[in-house]
Amino acid sequence: MHQHTLGFCFSVLLLLQAVAAHADYGTALTRSILYYEAQRSGKLPPTQRVSWRGDSGLKDGSDVGVDLTGGYYDAGDNVKFGFPMAFTITMLSWSVIEYKSQLLAKGELRNALHAIKWGTDYMIKAHPESDVLYGQVGEGQPDHDCWQRPEDMTTPRTAYKIDAEHPGSDLAGETSAAFAAASIAFKTYKPRYSAQLLSHAKQLFEFARNHQGVYQSTIPAAPFYVSSGFQDELLWAAAWLYRATNEQMYLDYLESADTGGMHPSFCWDNKYAGAHVLMAKLVLEGKLNTNKCAEYKKNAEEFICSVIQKGNNNVQMSGGGLLYWQPWNDIQYVTAAIFVTTVYSDYLKSAKSTLSCPSGEVTPDELIEFVKSQADYILGSNSKNMSYMVGMGSSYPQKVHHRGASIVSIKKDPTPVTCKGGFDSWFNKDAPNPNVLEGALVGGPDASDAYDDSRSNYEQAEPATANTAPFVGVLARLA
């Protein structure tokens, strides 16, 4: 074959690879939103697309006389943990706010809004009075001692709340942020619903401010979702409320509060980087120019510089190039970090600005290139040629640590699965899950890029709603 023909073929191959990668982001976006339907608790709607799931948790809240049906199971278990659920809704809402036009173009905006509303409808029920918020349904340890489909669960469905005498500023603050962000996402499409969400956001912020404490002092979330403090959630909620309302009182709070400095990660427990980025946006737009606001921007940029490996204290990376924080569910930190990097790239571009890192100036396009490297790794461009999103590509985790996915669908076999029987019949079975949990992001590989596809390997093989929520926005931007 002639040299120029070889060159032509190679060019076509590159073009096809680029098109394939482009298409992959779109497919991954569709699946990442579909995943939330598999995590639904409550009475499933006629529009339910994940057909292997059935109704579950239909008596949730009956022990306290409040309807607490609905919402999401947080990961591979059957507990409704309000703290990570609210963060999931905040991040899904932020994804919609920033990338509404891209989601619309891909035909996914309606599905994304449905995913948010499934959470906010539940959160409205969970907030029956201004200073009362139900933050958990189910009990962590008894639930983890059983292996049952949500449709069969026989474990206690105790409802736990915070109130004025038993506060939880972190839980109330994060739920306030979720309501405020969702109110922006729904403003054009459902103005009355948006106003209702904003009212809940305002009440919960006051509750969080006026009755301070960590929620696990009252709600038995330990050891599953223990909060390290609540100052970050108060900042996060205030930043979202200011974005939703433009009311001076929220800016006053942000001006008077401690910015918290630069934090090394962004996740369901640590919102500082998110709050910093929201404030930095206002500085870039020329709307704020105080010393305190400049400090927020500096913190945001230090975090992003460390993520993209151009800071003074960079985030560790695996040998194969994935950002690495810890062995247990590392991907949740990756997706959250690349989401704020993505939105910051767009904020910089709008402001015709660049990012000044200790290692030099970084353009908005260079930020997106880094984001792509991480997204591509997650979707299969890695040494194992394995996608860490279930259902994507030819190779992905088959034995995901997830009760519903690992047990035959109740639609195929309605025989109840008992608490311990589920371990014998399904958990310990050396076979792929009978149901594909499409769009779920598992915890991911270790620092050496190794991954053990085993149902018992919950550190790596368990997906969670907080993993996928930030990735929705990243994929919408890249698709």
Which amino acids are annotated catalytic? Answer: 401
Q: 344-368 burial string, b = 16+ CB within 10 Å, else e?
A: bbbbbbeeeebbebeeeebebebbb
Looking up tokens 């929620």, which residue turns up? Answer: 215
What's the maximum distance between 2 C-alpha atoms anywhere in the chain?
81
Distances (CA, A) of 62 to 68, 131, 160: 8, 20, 12
Query: Distance between CA atoms of 474 and 372, rounded to whole angstroms?
Result: 9
171-183 burial, b for 16+ CB within 10 Å, e for fewer? bbbbbbbbbbbbb
Residue with tokens 């309000």, as numbered in its chain: 82
Q: What is the 3-state secondary structure of 51-99?
A: CCCCCECCCCCCCCCCCCCCCECCCCCCCEEHHHHHHHHHHHHHHHHHC
457: burial class by Cβ within 10 Å (0-12, 13-18, 19+)?
Answer: middle
Residue type for position 5: T
The helix (H) or strand (E) run that includes residue 160 is strand 159-163
CB 439 within 8 A of CB 389: yes
Closest CA to 303 of 337, 347, 350, 258: 337
**Order of strands, edge to edge, in the sheet holding 159-163?**
80-81, 132-137, 159-163
Question: What phi and psi, each to the nearest 5 degrees, are found at residue 153?
Answer: -55, 135
